[in-house]
Structure 1
């Protein structure tokens, strides 16, 4: 194991064991390095790596703290990874989304509020087959983020938010515009919304599956 990897594991071990809790300040570098049997340089590299994935928060002039470790915060790094993917890897991430998001949509069926539903409906009604791709992507992201937010599971919500790759969605909507199929995709969103409004979890799950399977199919066929 590389020295930096060993340092990372030792800090993670302190967090897992409860020796360091969310919001705690790490001991001074010299003290912590001594306690863990590490060089200060390897400890510094480990802290830098853990700050990139939002486990630690380095505050200049104040010290280094354990973050809240909130799932949404920790999974932000996954969103950056998804945005960098190309070709087949994009489809692999989308397949994960296709497995998880219908379940989240079904859970939202009994939880989403009327105000949220009205806001989503108003947004969908403002769109049409001639809407700009940028508008469609923005509305698509908002629709799925709001429905996922209502699932009641912060880990599932955060994971799906991380899988929401705007660049991939732009590619999908550009393909729909070329195929003159924007109206069909918007209708799939309306069907999901109608099922949510009816509180029909299984219908919401089914329409979400249909929609995401269509997205995957279009991506596979779009160069």
Structure 2
């Protein structure tokens, strides 16, 4: 996703959440903010919502591949979404920018791969991190393996790096008699945010992402 000749780490990262290591509190705060302001265009927000990405928490916990399954969401827009989420996260959670920028996230993932010996994939004497930073084409040539085998290696590394998802309380409708005060407040706030989002969508101009311009 990052280069014309991707590394194995690029392929693995494309199937991992935009953010990992998010606390439940951070995820809850992102969810409570809806989409925030200035995220893409009204039509693209509508497509994301229809695809099941209801708020910023859902976007943060989605992988680039999952987001790019939405029509007109490609690598550039995925990067824009991550920048938007990081900005909102930094505003809501002290220290979040340092902990969750893309460089810090990559470092954590590579550290975990460094603890995994590469022998299990036929890469004797080195770690999975050493393997991951190589280009996919070079790995296939050096290990003399078909593309399907490389896909299996990528899938295994993805499973090893998948973080535990933070629990974000649902605000879906429940029987009124079973609703707690917290659920009721969350439901009311979610409805207010949805209404605000509808108003922003209606008022927002249709604008695309262009280099050097703000993402709307």
The normalised TM-score by structure 1 is 0.23
> Higher relative CO (CA 8 A, sep ≥ 6), structure 1 or 2?
2
Structure possessing the higher radius of gyration over alpha carbons: 1
The normalised TM-score by structure 2 is 0.24
Between Structure 1 and Structure 2, which shows a larger proportion of helix residues?
1
